Structure 1
């Protein structure tokens, strides 16, 4: 059994959205991911945690599955251990990946982390408890033609929004990330118009009930937030995820 993940050591993240194509069943996709692909990567030095999540809902519609690997540094993805996995890739895996056109592989650098005081202990909770939790992912950036700069956006998030989220009942942790690279199936380059937002926030909650709380509704309706929303890029992404499996 792998040792408990060292969350506080993670400074980089591999974030992979995907789902099976019409030629691959969900069962086959999950069997490959759960029993071959993810377990192999979880053994690579520098990969601190490996988890898969299933989509609950999103806006706009997104691939139904998310894999998150927390890393000690970006160099893990260029390390001998990691590259060997691709060199030894089975023909079955190559064929399956070619049948999954919706894979989206992103690399992020950690920008900010805020956790509840008991989070290190809660990170060791049994999987059955973790499966009740909700991961909220929000990818945003200033619109190309707005007068809001990256610094303006960051100031609002840092000075107001994270404090507001911290007060939401059931909140466990928030991390903020900056996009470093994104690739499509077979490491296809993305065009400028296809690029996801530059900034990603991930908020973790104990269960679904946070969305009905007064604090959550207030956090999303402050004057500052309402003034910022019209200035955001149209490529914003919002999703809610439940843990499927950790490795």
Structure 2
């Protein structure tokens, strides 16, 4: 069975797209079309809590990367409404990233806090890329030490890992920078935003192995968001 795909989209409306218009389009046109597309498995919007931009994010689990290469998924882009085309011509940033689930190591089970129907309150999107010759050790550290230690932090729900497949940054501002995102994405879900102040979290961040791996990172990005809205398929 092919690994599941994961779509992560960062968005910044910008001065030319009023917030009310942006949210009306996203909530009442953009995502509902995806709710009705079988390849999509869930639909969640997030808002930043780290003071950085883009302000908004949307995440989607998808049946597989192969399903994203054919109808009905591809039909979404081919049949955009006049309204959507107009808004996308004015939006500041639409940073779209497609991943596949990382399958190099058994998945660490989620905690008792996990509820498939209830998104986490806070999510950390942590992206790293290391030198190619260090990838094996990086993955070993993440899977054998880092996630197991995070799992001991109060409020941890689950951590999932993904590998970048495609990326495209659009928009009046986004198109000016086409820097490729880091290869590996880890999505850490939390019950609240107090996790970083715990002794368990500090311990996970200060191990000798982690400090050694940090020195090998050549491209990194860390964003923190809180839950905004989710959709359900009837």
Q: Which TM bucket (shorter chain)? A: 0.7 to 0.9
**TM-score normalised over the length of structure 1:** 0.83
Q: Distance in 1 between matches of 2:81 and 2:178?
A: 33
Alignment length, in residue pairs? 225
Q: How far did residue 104 of structure 1 move?
A: 1.0
Which has more helix, going by share of residues?
Answer: 1
1:201 to 186, 189, 200: 186
Are 2:16 and 2:90, in contact at CA under 8 Å, matched by a contact in 1?
A: yes
Unmatched tracts of structure 2, length 5 or more: none
1:93-104 counterparts in 2 under 5 A?
Answer: 93-104=84-95
Aligned CA distance change for structure 1 residues 201 and 40 (closer, same or farther; 3 Å): same
Are 2:44 and 2:59, in contact at CA under 8 Å, matched by a contact in 1?
A: yes
What residue in structure 2 maps to residue 115 of structure 1? 109
Are 1:10 and 1:70, in contact at CA under 8 Å, matched by a contact in 2?
A: no
Does 1:241 pair with 2:225?
yes
Query: The residue matched to 1:30 in structure 2 has which SS?
Result: helix
1:219-234 counterparts in 2 under 5 A?
Answer: 219-233=204-218
Q: Which runs of 4+ in 1 moved over 6 A?
A: 190-193
| Deviating more after overlay: 72-81 vs 209-218 | 72-81
Does 1:53 pair with 2:42?
no
Are 1:135 and 1:241, in contact at CA under 8 Å, matched by a contact in 2?
A: yes
2:53 to 45, 57, 62: 62
1:142 to 130, 155, 158: 130
What residue in structure 2 maps to residue 5 of structure 1? none
Are 2:111 and 2:156, in contact at CA under 8 Å, matched by a contact in 1?
A: no
What residue in structure 1 maps to residue 141 of structure 2? 156
Cα deviation digits, residues 60-90 of structure 1 (max 9, x gap): x431111111011112222322222223211
Query: The residue matched to 1:57 in structure 2 has which SS?
Result: coil
Does 1:168 pair with 2:153?
yes
* Alignment root-mean-square deviation, CA: 2.4
